[in-house]
DNA sequence: AATTAAGTCTACTCATTTAATAGACTATTG
DNA sequence: CAATAGTCTATTAAATGAGTAGACTTAATT
């Protein structure tokens, strides 16, 4: 299961994807519509900005916005940006790999099974992009 | 990512699968070989017993053992037994479903994408069984 | 049969990580 | 310069992971 933080990040990105090209979006708007605790959302958006996906504008008329077209960022990338491993186990994670204390991976059945699972998951998440997160209720620009 | 608890459960089940038919296995053995904190492991094994996968024998010569052949239990079942959702989001989980506060699932892009991912994952985890978790180092009965 | 050793079972307590809240501070627009 | 909106720092709350102490059961030994 993805952490709350990652879930919120995906929802926020999906919302911003729907508003792409329409200028800055308020944190408070995202918070209200996507039902995300505003202070938690602040830190997530800041992190996504530092990661290079979002930019922001301060002051009146400010807000957050996607730097690139929603089609440029895959869901796999988005999940990893906020520190969310995609694999089910650390020992099969590509970006958050950690060796098991107890096992020799060459021989570990669990490792093998989970690698197959991971590959199936990645195959999907690396194809889908933020543009597919846009709710039909948010926009009609599809 | 699966919780530590679920990870430990899978490792323990894999070890017990390798010892299937050889009588009770000590908690302390599983703990040592699979590097699982022994007291944490106790609660996990107890839970698996109450769930009907394992049985135990008290006293001298006691321990835990699989009730049925390792081939009878799928990895998907095993993960769910210890309370581990397989899906990446609550709103696409079959056994631990929870509705999102903010979204209409019929229209939610995130929901749709994650359902596809879930199905791909389940397709694998519902085919593989505990017998595939047996390390080649644990046994030669393959 | 009584004793004892080997094992599971039950109930707390402590630590770490993850989530959520509050408020002060800084930059931008008009 | 006043109002708006993002940024930063600090604290609190909740969930998960891990550890401790001891009671209860069973089986082998004498």
Is there a domain that residue A132 lies in? no
Do B57 and B113 belong together in one domain? no
Do B64 and B116 belong together in one domain? no
Nucleotide with minimal C1' distance from the CA of B24 is C7
B101 C-beta less than 7 Å away from strand C: no
Q: What is the pLDDT of residues B112-122, one digit of tens each?
A: 999 999 999 99
Task: Output the pLDDT for position B137.
Answer: 52
**pLDDT digits (tens), chain A, 142 positions:** 999 999 999 999 999 999 999 999 999 999 999 999 999 999 999 999 999 999 999 988 899 999 999 999 999 999 999 877 999 999 999 999 999 888 889 899 999 999 999 999 999 999 999 999 997 754 444 4
Is there a domain that residue B130 lies in? no
Nearest of B94, B110, B51, B9 to residue A89 by alpha carbon: B9
% residues pLDDT > 70 (chain B): 95
Do A79 and A103 belong together in one domain? yes
* Residue A69 token pair: 């077209």
Coil, strand, or helix at residue A81? helix
Is there a domain that residue A92 lies in? yes
Do A61 and A87 belong together in one domain? no
Do A27 and A39 belong together in one domain? yes
Q: Which domain holds residue B108?
A: 75-125
Is there a domain that residue A10 lies in? yes
Task: Output the pLDDT for position B102.
Answer: 81
Do B38 and B91 belong together in one domain? no
Do B85 and B114 belong together in one domain? yes
Do A44 and A27 belong together in one domain? yes
Do A86 and A57 belong together in one domain? no
User: Which positions 74-133 of B are in contact with A (Cβ < 8 Å)?
Assistant: 75, 85, 87-90, 93, 100-104, 107-110, 112-113, 116-117, 120-121, 123-125, 128, 132-133
Is there a domain that residue B134 lies in? no
Do B8 and B64 belong together in one domain? yes
Between CA B111 and CA B88 the distance in angstroms is: 10
**pLDDT digits (tens), chain B, 142 positions:** 999 999 999 999 999 999 998 989 999 999 999 999 999 999 999 999 988 899 998 888 889 999 999 999 999 999 998 877 899 999 999 989 999 888 889 999 999 999 999 999 999 999 999 999 997 654 444 3
What DSSP string describes B64-98? EEESS-GGGSBHHHHHHHTT---SSSGGG-SSS--
Is there a domain that residue B51 lies in? yes
Do B56 and B92 belong together in one domain? no
Is there a domain that residue B133 lies in? no
Q: Are B65 and B56 in contact (CB under 8 A)?
A: yes
Question: Which protein residue has its CA closest to C1' of C5?
Answer: B60
CATH number reported for the structural domain that contains residue A57 in this entry: 1.10.10.10
Is there a domain that residue A119 lies in? yes
Chain A residues with CB under 8 Å of B89 CB are 1-2, 7
Task: Output the pLDDT for position A128.
Answer: 97
Q: How many domains in chain B? A: 2
Do A53 and A84 belong together in one domain? no
B4 C-beta less than 7 Å away from strand C: no
The reply to whether residue B107 touches residue A33, judged by beta carbons under 8 angstroms, is: no
């Amino acid at each position: 299961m993805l952490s709350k933080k990652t879930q919120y990040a995906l929802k926020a990105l999906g919302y911003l994807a729907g508003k792409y090209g329409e200028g800055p979006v308020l944190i408070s708007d995202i918070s209200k519509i996507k039902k995300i605790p505003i202070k938690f959302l602040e830190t997530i958006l800041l992190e996504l900005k530092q990661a290079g996906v979002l930019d922001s504008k301060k002051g009146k008329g400010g807000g957050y916005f996607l730097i690139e077209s929603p089609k440029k960022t895959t869901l796999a990338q988005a999940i990893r940006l906020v520190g969310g491993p995609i694999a089910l186990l650390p020992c099969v994670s590509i970006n958050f790999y950690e060796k098991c204390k107890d096992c020799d991976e060459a021989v570990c059945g669990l490792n093998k099974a989970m690698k197959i699972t991971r590959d199936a998951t990645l195959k999907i998440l690396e194809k889908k992009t933020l543009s597919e997160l846009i709710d039909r209720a948010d926009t009609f620009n599809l």
